[in-house]
Amino acid sequence: MEHYPLIFIPDAIERVKPQIPASPSLVRPQPPIKPSRPDPLTPEPQPVRPVALFLRLAIALGVSSLFGYLFYVLLNPNWGLIVGGSLGVIFLIIITLWTLSDRRDFGRRKQRHEQLQRTHLLKMAEYQQQMIVFNQQHQQYEGDLSVYNQAIIDWQSLVQQSRIALLRMLEGTETYEGKDSEAWRGQSEKRFESYLKSYFPGRIYTGLTIHRYKKEYPYTPDFVYIDKQSNLHIDIEIDEPYGYKTGQPIHYVGLEKDDERNEFFLDRLWIVIRFSEEQVIRSPKSCCKAIAQVIADVMGGELPAELAMVSSLQPCPRWTYEEAAQMAAQDYRSRYL
């Protein structure tokens, strides 16, 4: 691996992980659109429309009576009778003329209705043909949906079987032995910690210790991700190119101490993820996304929604001993710290 982040996954997990199948590349079938039934045809017209005639008479009677009553009260009874009767006669003449007009217009209205009726019959015939096609499409849709649902069920079954195998594998993970380590923590660790705990609440631990056989000092990871439900453990490390106070190159390519440490955690079924210090300072959210991608890849899940839109982490070249010494001479870390 020539670029950060460095990701190490135990071989035992790698052997189980590929058995988690990719989700089927099926598109959920969409139901056909049911055709709209034509609006019902209006009733056949009549020479005289009874409802319209009744409403006209009722309005005429009401208006005549109202004005007759007003004149009866305000002036005298004779004026009330004259005005009410006159209005009644006028309205009666108007209604009669209106009714005669309706009778004369009956032929046109009937012809229009017959034309609408023919159009309605054509629309109904077209609608019935559309319904035949719709019923055929709906049967096809139900068949396609059944195939789709079965494919999803089969895939979920395979995922569940693979996940069970993975969880059984993770049961053998050797966890930490101690906590509250007094190991010194750098400035970059303190900055990165808030992001980790924000995106992985309840699963980020610091100060944990893992004892080494016949070694005086235990390992203290910078951060430990632990999912208690699956027993997944991840050692998250921040690699600096040189000691800030000493200027001595560290974490350079070929450093045996780092390789031994990685193998130690891999033997305990831990995943190891190493970021460069510059990455966690300049792109902490993208580093969290990289961690989430590893988890999703191993566990067969998806990225959390809050990280899906975060930019992917840009690779950072690893440094050799000579390059780290040159970076120390140039005080390179002060550019981002």
Domain boundaries, the chain: 44-169, 175-335
84 pLDDT above the threshold of 80 = no
Residues 6+ apart with CB under 8 A from 300: 20, 159, 162, 163, 166
Average confidence score pLDDT of the chain: 87
The candidate with the shortest Cα–Cα distance to 249, out of 176, 187, 153, 333, is 333
69 pLDDT above the threshold of 90 = no
Q: Please give the Cα distance from 275 to 239 (Å, whole number).
A: 6
The candidate with the shortest Cα–Cα distance to 258, out of 321, 168, 171, 335, is 321
Q: What's the pLDDT at 162?
A: 80
Q: What's the pLDDT at 48?
A: 64
106 pLDDT above the threshold of 70 = no
Q: Please give the Cα distance from 202 to 317 (Å, whole number).
A: 32
The string of pLDDT tens digits covering residues 117-166 is 888 889 988 999 999 999 999 999 999 999 999 988 888 887 788 888 88
Q: Say what the pTM is.
A: 0.65
Of 63-77, 111-125, 231-245, least confident by mean pLDDT is 63-77
Mean pLDDT of 74-95: 74
Q: Please give the Cα distance from 202 to 229 (Å, whole number).
A: 12
The type of residue at 168 is: R
21 pLDDT above the threshold of 70 = no
Q: What's the pLDDT at 315?
A: 96
Structure token pair of residue 118: 């023919």
The string of pLDDT tens digits covering residues 210-238 is 998 777 789 999 999 999 999 999 999 99
Q: What's the pLDDT at 20?
A: 62
The type of residue at 33 is: I
Residues 6+ apart with CB under 8 A from 2: 253, 317, 318
Q: Please give the Cα distance from 72 to 65 (Å, whole number).
A: 10
